[in-house]
Amino acid sequence: MGKPTGFMEHERVEAPRRSVEEQVRDYEEFHQVYAEGEVVRQAARCMDCGIPFCNAGVMLEGETIGCPLGNCIPEINDLVYHSCYEDAYRRLTRTHPFPEFTGRVCPALCEGSCTLGEHEPPVSIKEIEHFIDARAVGGPLRKPRAPLRRTGRRVAVVGSGPAGLACAHTLNRLGEKVVVFERDDRPGGLLMYGIPTMKLAKGVVLARVAQMEDEGVEFRLNAAVGRGTRPDAPRSKRGDDVSIDTLLADFDALVLCGGSTVARPLVVPGSSAPGVVPAMAYLNHSIRRLLNSDHPYQELLDAQGKDVVIVGGGDTGTDCVATALRQGARSVVQYQINAAMPSCRPADNPWPLLPRVLRTDYGQEEHAALFGHDPRVFGESVKEVLADSTGRVSGVVTVAYHSVRKNGRRVSTEVPGSEKNVPAQLVLVALGFSGPEPLLVEELDLARDAACKPLTDAGSYATSRRGVFAAGDMRRGQSLVVWAVMEGRDAAVECHNYLNSREL
């Protein structure tokens, strides 16, 4: 695959990006793509490794090996090396409906399992994928392609996040008539209102939705299903809501792709004070203001001139760092209860498992450029939230933690006497999500776990109610966009097969 000696001749070169000093001044995407000559050199680094793990897409010891979508990465890289870009796009999209999303926001699980990456920097798989998609934009490969035959059946997809879009796309290509119900005013779910525009421009999402509409998918916006609605979502057309009974009567099958949206709270004294905000509510408000200047402004959700404390070290926390910098925060500090990861793979984390190493993302890079240091504080978290005389947040008390691994799990205990007072007028809680909102699952009377995730058999997306399927974070819990796309795609195939078997 590629050039047999390419991995010995070429070093890994990162794709170009806007300078940090430039990108923090606006909300435009910081991603750029390889020049044609460079992408060929990077694809040449793909080894003829015999057994590629980059496309395995399996779980081992609770961790992912390779691409969940099963993309045929060595074949794709070989085509890019030979400058067969259209063929590379065709090969990529045989398994992956939306490379424009993962080429921007995926953590590149595939690269963690690259054979070359065992001893050297891995092949730049994610950035090669980004190049392939960018090359196809505006060309004949991205023109709408409606199915040649319709089955005459109708499927309702609830939710238009990455799982819902992938499910609708696949079902439509299989000939089913698909209607997507989205309770927000724009389609995209997490892609629209959870991921900041500098990581994923909203025009990219809307362009894909427009193509799906041209191919026959119908999107109904401002349409909450059942009794469940989100209080913070603008609802200009409440008459578009639809009952469960109506869906079950009007459609041959139902696929639930509502995501995992119940945020884990910060449970410490004082955490109910104004100014303690769920991270997703903060990001949501920022994105809505960018997309619509008439969206109501909430001073509590603006970091301008404030000392900002972020609790949580994941991708959402990083997005909060980057957004707060762009809003003009006076200071930003990000607390992560666990100790910093090592710079190299630990002995208990062998290849081809995803490397558990310290990563510095765009938000931390931007903070270091502006303030001269990484905003993250490892091994500490917030113990108490302090308030001023008006009851609003004025600071936090932090405490250090000592973490050890016991029986494969990390256990953290407070370090006595390590408390510190830190000023803060905005505390953003980025501790992840526990599961889906319960009302829809309860109204459908589905078998569910303690987090209200619908239960399905292993390897299946069928719920306990006949003709009702679930996919994405709503089924598996908080996860990555690439897993949601995979689940939406595979749930669509299972739903299609169910409908075919029902008619036999």
Q: How does pLDDT run across 463-491, given as a tens digit for each residue?
A: 999 999 999 999 999 999 999 999 999 99
Range of the domain at 363: 265-431
Per-residue model confidence (pLDDT) at position 404: 79
Q: How does pLDDT run across 381-409, given as a tens digit for each residue?
A: 999 999 999 999 999 999 999 987 777 67
Q: How does pLDDT run across 139-167, given as a tens digit for each residue?
A: 899 999 999 999 999 999 999 999 999 99
- How many Cα atoms are found within 13 Å in the side-chain-facing hemisphere of 286? 28
Per-residue model confidence (pLDDT) at position 233: 45
Per-residue model confidence (pLDDT) at position 371: 96
Q: Which residue has the tokens 């070989």?
A: 78
Mark which of 409, 431, 453 sits at the end of a domain: 431
Q: How does pLDDT run across 60-110, given as a tens digit for each residue?
A: 877 889 999 999 999 999 999 999 999 999 999 999 999 999 999 999 999
Q: Which helix (H) or strand (E) holds 382?
A: strand 380-387
Question: Is 78 within 8 Å of 316 (Cβ atoms)?
Answer: no
Does some domain include residue 1? no
Residue whose C-alpha is closest to residue 286's, from 278, 274, 271, 298: 298
Dist CA 164 CA 474 (whole Å): 11
Does some domain include residue 239? yes
pLDDT at 330 over 90: yes
Mark which of 142, 176, 200 sits at the end of a domain: 142
Cβ burial 244-253 (10 Å sphere, 16+ → b, else e): beebbeebbb
**Domain match, 271 and 374 both:** yes
Mark which of 431, 465, 493 sits at the end of a domain: 431
Q: What is the DSSP string of 55-81?
A: T--EEETTEEES-TT---HHHHHHHHH
Helix 279-291, helix 315-327: angle, nearest 10: 50
Report whether the peptide linkage leading into residue 269 is cis, meaning its omega lies within 30 degrees of zero: no
Count of domains for the chain = 3
Q: Structure tokens of 301?
A: 């959700």
The CATH number linked to 169 is 3.50.50.60
- How would you classify the pairing of strands 177-181 and 218-220? parallel
Does some domain include residue 204? yes
**Domain match, 272 and 418 both:** yes
Helix 73-81, helix 36-44: angle, nearest 10: 130
Dist CA 424 CA 417 (whole Å): 21
Does some domain include residue 149? no
Does some domain include residue 148? no
**Domain match, 278 and 425 both:** yes
Question: Is 190 within 8 Å of 283 (Cβ atoms)?
Answer: no
DSSP bridge pairs for 409: 406
